[in-house]
């Protein structure tokens, strides 16, 4: 995230050489815990004793911990880390848990997502180390045992059965991956592992921080946030298994696979190992002699294993472009016919290219087909609580919105996240974060401290570990080695060496900003904002954050949630302040002084729509404003993607979601409720889309499907706010190609007789059979928003005069009828259909009519996916909207649908 003016699963071999006790893990993360989309504390699982299997190649995740502050533990480390230690008064914690996440799960503090409760949590409790303690049992000791982990924030001493096996200097950095050979310490029966976890200071350590996204947690996320695994194996270990793919492009007729792994002799005597493997129906084997304690890279390639040259391979595509098939690699190392170790890797076959175009912008292509990156910036839960279902729900929302990419600036999620991205066809752009220690060496006057000699190997090991963990995921299309700033020559060479050692298969990007690094060169990206309010016409200018090039993070800032969510996250007094006092610091916005208030946003809301008359009116106007602005952002980038000069190549909405209850930077809120921002994005990114251009009044058809379209009819009609028609024209025979092609169907005149200052534009696209395939309604003004480009700041461009949309306030109230019904499927899903109709007898449309699925108490049922929503209907028009959701989320209630709109009275109807 650009905050100031820019003066502004495995561990690779490279990391092992750094002496950080770092090697790879072959296990997927084991299950979810803690909280999902609700913010209230849940009961944490107790620290159960973990039964470790003895099978060679097995990995078993510790099932949980008991934790306690070192300020309250007077016993020695040897005692704490020995079996039988009582740990009385300690808190149970899940298998992946920060300190504060565990305390919240145990009910120690009130819901930190409500009001200012989080401020009441004492930070002093987290300025000392905390103990994490867990017991595991081993039935026999004939196999070797290893402790395998990453995700320690920020560092730790590690003990097993009373003995220290690693120091904090060794286990430093939240991304470094470690494998400790604990064979000599493990006994049959109960064993104990203990971590003395150090406090986290993101400005001083290469860990994770929250920048200006939200109010940072009091513990700064200290803890263990990835699984700690106990691995078993024989005399020869297999590590670093992966597959390098080379796809024939553009034919896609064949693919060459190269399988690599390291075979490591763990004994003091020479051995001969047999390494064998399979990919699908193809098998291969090699005999590998190993001297005492020797490690060799074992390679299988089409030259020696012809079955690894695949004919007609199953190619992985992003969603909407094709399927998402995955392959599996299985390897076994045997000694004297006895299995010693096994490993499994999933991988996909695809090719990613991202050269710089003639304008210097990065242009991505997948399997030879160019695509516009349409993405959002990802935030994990503020307390780093992993919940697979909650993550999956958000990724499904991304698909529902027509997005194809998620950017992770730091906070790189565990393996399951990327497994889900692979499954759903969602591209990912992981990279290091800005504005703390990660860019401390190059960040000018920002807060991250300069690096010391000890930081360089930690950074390189972090890169090696993440590269090895992510390289086989086809959803990962780049790694951004810088964010606001590109690394210097030394840091970049270290990163690139680690990536090369890991056989990193996709483009490496120097920074998310318009920066260059000594080796990689230009980033091909821009980070010109904005991050606060700008009008919709801003996005059409080919300058600053407008629709040209690749904008790695940008939005019009605040995204006010629905009234339902606001009442869940703020006190009545805070809600009163929200709409009455724009200059007041909002705790649920940002800790940054730049983004502390809603002053810019509220001034625009009042200037364009009129002063709010109450909380409900404020939220109503906010949803309208957010719909038009988010829609314009994505539409501008979609329209300009095929321009011959300065085309748009990528846009990342800042942000896709928030890690807590927020008033800004989110397309949906913490509870997965959807408002104007969500449905504006969904409208802009629909597969076949008709849209209006704020800059030149053109009516454009954009085809996001692969197949071409022909025989289309585009119609635009202009209305005064009383519903009287003032202009109507149609273009027939509209044809265009696929993959983001666009065609200008017609242009609205600059002056239309009798048009009111505030007016409506209805755009309708029909296919060759006369079926409506896209409808888009705009509220516009004959007086456009005026931007002061000369006084642009890094976070926004000032608006000197606002478009006059106040005429919307005089729209007549119109009746909308609704009827709904629900069907329950056998898969645990339900579907509610609601038909809404404008039953008015006059001319006035119902503007932005919203349907909300609620239970018998009026509480929103979430998550939910609507076929369409926030629709505008003229008298006599009707549409049927479909909501799909988990039946269990009704909690036994009967579904109901609450219908409301800009000029429509709220009503709730049953949906039996």
Residues marked active site are found at: 484, 553
On the question of a cis peptide bond just before residue 250, with omega within 30 degrees of 0, the verdict is yes
Classified as helix, coil or strand, 835 is strand
Interatomic CA distance for residues 606 and 357, integer angstroms? 41
How is residue 604 written in tokens?
Answer: 């625009």
Interatomic CA distance for residues 543 and 530, integer angstroms? 11
Strand order across the beta sheet in which 178-181 lies: 59-61, 228-233, 144-149, 178-181
Interatomic CA distance for residues 450 and 439, integer angstroms? 8
Among positive and negative, which fits the CA dihedral 470, 476, 477, 483? Answer: negative
How is residue 345 written in tokens?
Answer: 């890797």
Residue holding tokens 């007077």? 74
Among positive and negative, which fits the CA dihedral 512, 517, 520, 523? Answer: positive
Give the N- to C-terminal CA distance of the chain in Å, as an integer. Answer: 46
- E strand or H helix that includes residue 505: none
The pairing of strands 427-431 and 405-409 is parallel
Beta-strand runs (E) in 438-483: 479-480
Contact between 438 and 407 (Cβ < 8 Å): no
Contact between 435 and 27 (Cβ < 8 Å): no
| Sequence-ordered list of residues with C-beta below 8 angstroms from that of 217, at least 6 positions apart, any chain | 98, 100, 112, 118, 210, 382, 383
10 Å CB burial of residue 49 (0-12, 13-18, 19+) is: middle
Closest CA to 780 of 803, 809, 754: 803
Closest CA to 113 of 556, 412, 561, 653: 561
Closest CA to 896 of 842, 857, 843: 857
What are the counts of helices (DSSP H) followed by strands (DSSP E) for the chain?
12, 51
Interatomic CA distance for residues 215 and 217, integer angstroms? 7
Q: C-alpha distances in angstroms, 148 versus 181, 217, 241, 309?
A: 9, 27, 16, 34
Interatomic CA distance for residues 853 and 821, integer angstroms? 12
Residue holding tokens 């595509």? 317
Interatomic CA distance for residues 754 and 724, integer angstroms? 10
Interatomic CA distance for residues 206 and 901, integer angstroms? 48
CA of residue 462 relative to chain centroid, distance:
20
Residue holding tokens 């821009």? 526
How is residue 466 written in tokens?
Answer: 């993440």
Classified as helix, coil or strand, 183 is coil
Classified as helix, coil or strand, 840 is coil
On the question of a cis peptide bond just before residue 656, with omega within 30 degrees of 0, the verdict is no
Among positive and negative, which fits the CA dihedral 761, 766, 771, 776? Answer: negative
Contact between 623 and 676 (Cβ < 8 Å): yes
Interatomic CA distance for residues 529 and 537, integer angstroms? 15
The dihedrals phi and psi of 151, each to the nearest 5 degrees, come to: 80, 25
Contact between 179 and 59 (Cβ < 8 Å): no
The dihedrals phi and psi of 459, each to the nearest 5 degrees, come to: -65, -45
10 Å CB burial of residue 86 (0-12, 13-18, 19+) is: exposed
């Amino acid at each position: 995230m650009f905050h100031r003016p820019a003066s502004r699963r495995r561990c690779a071999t490279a990391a092992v050489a750094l002496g950080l006790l770092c090697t790879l893990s072959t296990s997927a993360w084991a299950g979810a815990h803690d909280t999902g989309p609700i913010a209230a504390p849940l009961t944490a699982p107790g620290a159960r004793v973990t039964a470790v299997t003895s099978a060679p190649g097995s990995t078993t995740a510790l099932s949980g911990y008991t934790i306690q502050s070192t300020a309250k533990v007077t016993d020695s480390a040897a005692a704490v880390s020995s079996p039988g230690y009582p740990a009385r008064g300690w808190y149970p914690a899940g298998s992946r848990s920060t300190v504060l996440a565990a305390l919240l799960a145990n009910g120690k503090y009130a819901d930190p997502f409500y009001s200012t409760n989080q401020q009441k949590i004492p930070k002093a409790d987290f300025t000392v180390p905390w103990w994490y303690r867990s017991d595991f049992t081993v039935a026999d000791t004939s196999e070797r045992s290893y402790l395998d982990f990453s995700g320690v924030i920020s560092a730790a001493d590690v003990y097993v059965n009373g003995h220290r096996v690693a120091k904090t200097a060794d286990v430093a950095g939240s991304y470094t991956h470690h494998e400790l050979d604990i064979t000599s310490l493990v006994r049959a029966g109960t064993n104990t592992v203990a971590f003395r976890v150090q406090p986290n200071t993101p400005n001083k350590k290469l860990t994770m921080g929250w920048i200006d996204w939200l109010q940072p947690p009091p513990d700064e996320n200290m803890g263990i946030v990835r699984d700690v695994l106990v691995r078993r194996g024989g005399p020869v270990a297999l590590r670093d298994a992966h597959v390098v793919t080379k796809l024939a492009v553009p034919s896609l007729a064949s693919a060459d696979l190269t399988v690599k792994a390291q075979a490591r002799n763990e004994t003091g005597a020479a051995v001969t190992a047999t390494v064998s493997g399979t990919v699908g129906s193809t098998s291969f084997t090699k005999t590998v002699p190993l001297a005492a304690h020797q490690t060799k890279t074992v390679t299988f390639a089409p030259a020696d294993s012809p079955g690894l040259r695949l004919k007609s391979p199953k190619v992985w595509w992003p969603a909407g472009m094709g399927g998402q098939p995955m392959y599996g690699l299985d390897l076994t190392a045997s000694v004297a016919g006895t299995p010693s170790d096994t490993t499994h890797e999933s991988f996909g076959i695809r090719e990613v290219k991202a050269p710089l175009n003639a304008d210097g912008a990065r242009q991505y292509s997948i399997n030879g087909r160019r695509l516009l990156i349409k993405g959002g910036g990802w935030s994990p839960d503020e307390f780093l609580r992993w919940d697979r279902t909650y993550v999956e729900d958000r990724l499904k929302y991304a698909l529902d919105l027509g997005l194809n990419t998620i950017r992770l600036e730091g906070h790189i999620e565990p393996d399951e996240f990327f497994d889900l991205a692979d499954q759903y066809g969602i591209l990912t752009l992981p990279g290091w974060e800005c504005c703390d220690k990660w860019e401390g060496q190059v960040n000018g006057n920002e807060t991250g401290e300069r690096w010391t000699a000890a930081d360089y190997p930690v950074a390189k090991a972090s890169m090696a570990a993440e590269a090895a963990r992510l390289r086989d995921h086809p959803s990962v299309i780049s790694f951004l080695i810088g964010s606001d700033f590109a690394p210097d020559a030394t840091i970049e060479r270290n990163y690139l060496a680690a990536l090369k050692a890991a056989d990193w298969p996709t483009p490496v990007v120097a920074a998310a900003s318009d920066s260059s690094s000594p080796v990689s060169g230009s980033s091909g990206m821009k980070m010109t904002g904005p991050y606060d309010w700008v009008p919709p016409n801003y996005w059409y200018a080919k300058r600053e954050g407008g629709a040209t090039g690749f904008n790695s993070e940008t939005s019009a800032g605040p995204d006010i949630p629905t009234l339902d969510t606001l009442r869940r996250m703020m006190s009545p007094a805070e809600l009163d302040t929200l709409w009455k006092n724009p200059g007041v610091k909002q705790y649920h916005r940002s800790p940054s002084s730049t983004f502390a208030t809603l002053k810019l946003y509220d001034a625009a809301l009042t200037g364009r729509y009129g002063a709010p008359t109450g909380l409900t009116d404020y939220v109503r106007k906010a949803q309208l404003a957010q719909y038009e602005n988010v829609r314009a952002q994505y539409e501008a980038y979609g329209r300009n993607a095929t321009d011959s000069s300065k085309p748009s190549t990528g846009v990342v909405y800042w942000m896709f979601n928030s890690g807590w209850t927020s008033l800004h930077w989110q397309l949906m809120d913490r509870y997965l409720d959807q408002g104007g921002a969500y449905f504006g994005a969904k409208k802009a990114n629909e597969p076949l889309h008709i849209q209006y251009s704020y800059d030149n009044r053109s009516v454009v058809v954009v085809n996001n499907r692969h197949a071409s379209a022909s025989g289309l009819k585009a119609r635009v009609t202009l209305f005064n706010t009383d519903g009287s028609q003032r202009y109507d024209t149609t273009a027939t025979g509209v044809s265009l190609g696929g993959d983001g092609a666009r065609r200008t169907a017609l242009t609205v005149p600059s002056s239309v007789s009798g048009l009111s200052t505030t007016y409506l534009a209805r755009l309708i696209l029909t296919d060759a059979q006369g079926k409506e395939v896209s409808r888009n309604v705009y509220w516009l003004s004959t007086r456009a928003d005026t931007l002061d480009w000369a006084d642009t700041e890094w976070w926004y461009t000032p608006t000197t005069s606002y478009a006059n949309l106040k005429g919307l306030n005089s729209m007549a109230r119109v009746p909308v009828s609704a009827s709904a019904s629900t069907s329950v499927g056998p898969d645990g899903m339900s579907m509610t259909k609601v038909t809404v109709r404008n039953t008015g007898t006059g001319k006035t449309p119902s503007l932005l009519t919203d349907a909300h699925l609620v239970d018998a108490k009026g509480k929103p049922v979430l998550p939910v996916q609507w076929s369409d929503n926030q629709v505008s209907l003229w008298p006599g028009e009707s549409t049927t909207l479909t909501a799909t959701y988990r039946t269990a989320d009704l909690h036994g209630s009967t579904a109901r649908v609450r219908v409301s709109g800009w000029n429509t009275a709220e009503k709730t109807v049953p949906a039996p």
